[in-house]
Structure 1
Amino acid sequence: MVTFFQDEWRRVTRAVRTLDVQTMVVLTLAAFVVILHFNVGSRSVFLRHLADGFDPSWRTLWSWGWWFGTKGILGFVVPLLVLYVVFGRSARECGIGLGNWRLATGIAALYLPLVAVGTWILSDGSAFQGQYPHFRGAAFNWQFFLIYEALFLFYWMGWEYLWRGFVLFGTIHKLGLYAIFVQAVPFAVLHVDKPWPEAMLSIVGGIALGALCWRCRSFWIAVPIHAAQMMLLDFWCTLRARSDVDGWGWSALMEALSALGG
């Protein structure tokens, strides 16, 4: 029996020695980050344990800031430090370099106007107006809106870097192009509570975004591609809430934009 366990232990240690440490750490840490964010970074944690130290009129905003900020720190700052400091990777190897910025800029220039038009049309629906911005106070206070959106952008940096930066660029040296598909799996799983068409599309979207970041040699392009949809919906729905405008023609757009001065 002793010999049996000794043999098994030798097999285990031989197998462990074949593992790439960086790939093992990246994939394991990514799982920890998701669990930690949902448990420590939740708005309910802030409201239960931290909110008493803030002005009541700002507490809801800062609860969103807690959710967004912890995502940015856990998804962007911590993973980047692991690759850059612990493993000594360059900015390019970490996925935060400029990469093929001409290609990325061209794609953004084509994509963002389409998203702006599409989200303007979608914002005419009552279902979207009831959902965006998630923090309703931002719709009627420009100071709140700007702070909320700045924190929201930091959230998207954390969300995108965790998958399209840390997992993709942190494992591609070992997994090759299969890293594109590996990073898409947890991304899709995190959409499981969304309507099923959106959940299914997240599989395609995760692979496409991973491939795009690999081609551009940088994760940065994924931030405007993904964040613009939500942030523009927030903007259009805020203008509609302030101006009470219906429709999506040119006159409706001009009337909505007049709310910028209100």
Structure 2
Amino acid sequence: MFDLASTLLAAAAGPTGARAAPTLFETATKALFPVAAYLALAPVLWFFFRGTWRELDVAAHEHQRKTLASGSYDYRPAVLFVTTALVLTLQEYYGGRDFYENHLKPFLRELEKQGGFGVDLRKWNELYGYGWWAFTRVFGYVAVPMIIWKICFRKDSLLDMGLRVRGFLKHAWIYGLCLAVVVPAVVIVSRAPDFGTYYPFYKQCSRSWFDLAMWEMMYFAQFFALEVFFRGFWLSGLRTTLGSGAIFAMCVPYCMIHYGKPYLEAAGAVVAGIALGSLAMRTKSIYSGFLVHVTVALLMDLLALSHRNALPTSLWGP
């Protein structure tokens, strides 16, 4: 899926499109470009978040000292890592298009034959598939970890997973700053020849505003679930044991879920993970990262449709 940092990297790397096979030099340049970007962005991240990282490390050190002094053991990292492995594995094997096509679509076809529940595969098959994808992300990223966590650690409040809204307006300027940086990059990238064919992922968005609205709701839901899991569940579960290291540890699975997507998107996930994770720890909220994600994602979809003159003209479609 779309990633903020990949947009910035793509904008810096220049437009792409149909062209001859790249030379070895061009391939090497592309492969090494994220490394240069990491080195350039590292001082910026350090400048903005060094205080937050320091606070996390101090708090983690104190927690570890008390835990060792009491002779107890903190099971949170073990529960979190096992839960993560379970969730990501289930999503890989059962949360994609193949599972929908092989197992759910035949079931829906039988319902359609019986005239049940208004199923219309001819019109809505692609949307049904994305509906399954969005459901598995919300269920896997939100329901599963929260249920497991509450069973294992009953005294922990789930609201501490970055879900409290108190103080959000105090940090609203950060949301505005992120948009000020990313939106121009989105506009630049949107002029690439292949941009208009890549977004939106749901190809029937042009059919009607209803199609577009349904897709964006699913898209937004998976972004919220993503933020809950990686910036909420992961960081709240590891902050007392790893300190600022929890942010960098989170970037590993966050980057890996982008495998199979364009190289710059996967590479950009590292920077995005550090920035959004640090932002979540600084504000004690996932909402700024979520709002940046969905704002830019919606803008990218609308720009792509606009550039190919494919914005919907009908409310409901044929």
Which of the five TM-score ranges fits, normalised by the shorter chain? 0.7 to 0.9
- Alpha-carbon distance in structure 1 between the residues aligned to 2:138 and 2:171: 22
Q: Which letter maps to 1:32?
A: L
User: What is residue 168 of structure 2 aligned with on the other side?
Assistant: 101
Unaligned stretches of 5+ residues in structure 2: 1-70, 109-118
8 A Cα contact 2:146 2:158, kept in partner: no
Matched, 1:171 2:225: no
Question: Secondary structure of the residue that 1:136 maps to in structure 2?
Answer: coil
User: What is residue 120 of structure 2 aligned with on the other side?
Assistant: 55
- Report matched runs for 1:1-262 at 5 Å: 19-52=73-106, 53=108, 54-56=119-121, 57-84=123-150, 86-88=152-154, 89-98=156-165, 100-112=167-179, 114-242=181-309
Which deviates the most, 141-150 or 216-225?
216-225
Unaligned stretches of 5+ residues in structure 1: 1-16, 244-255
User: What is residue 48 of structure 2 aligned with on the other side?
Assistant: none
Superposition deviation, residue 128 in structure 1: 0.7
Q: TM-score, with normalisation over the residues of structure 1?
A: 0.78
8 A Cα contact 1:80 1:94, kept in partner: no
- Alpha-carbon distance in structure 2 between the residues aligned to 1:175 and 1:92: 20
Superposition deviation, residue 84 in structure 1: 4.2
> Higher helix proportion, which one?
1
- Structure having greater relative contact order (Cα 8 Å, sep ≥ 6): 2
Superposition deviation, residue 115 in structure 1: 3.8
Q: TM-score, with normalisation over the residues of structure 2?
A: 0.66
Q: Deviations over 1:163-217 (max 9, x none)?
A: 1111111121222221111111111222333444433332222111111100011
Identity %: 27
8 A Cα contact 1:180 1:207, kept in partner: yes
8 A Cα contact 2:161 2:228, kept in partner: no
The structure-2 alpha-carbon separation of the partners of 1:110 and 1:136, relative to structure 1 and needing over 3 Å to count, comes to same
Q: Which letter maps to 2:214?
A: I
Aligned residues: 233
8 A Cα contact 1:140 1:242, kept in partner: no
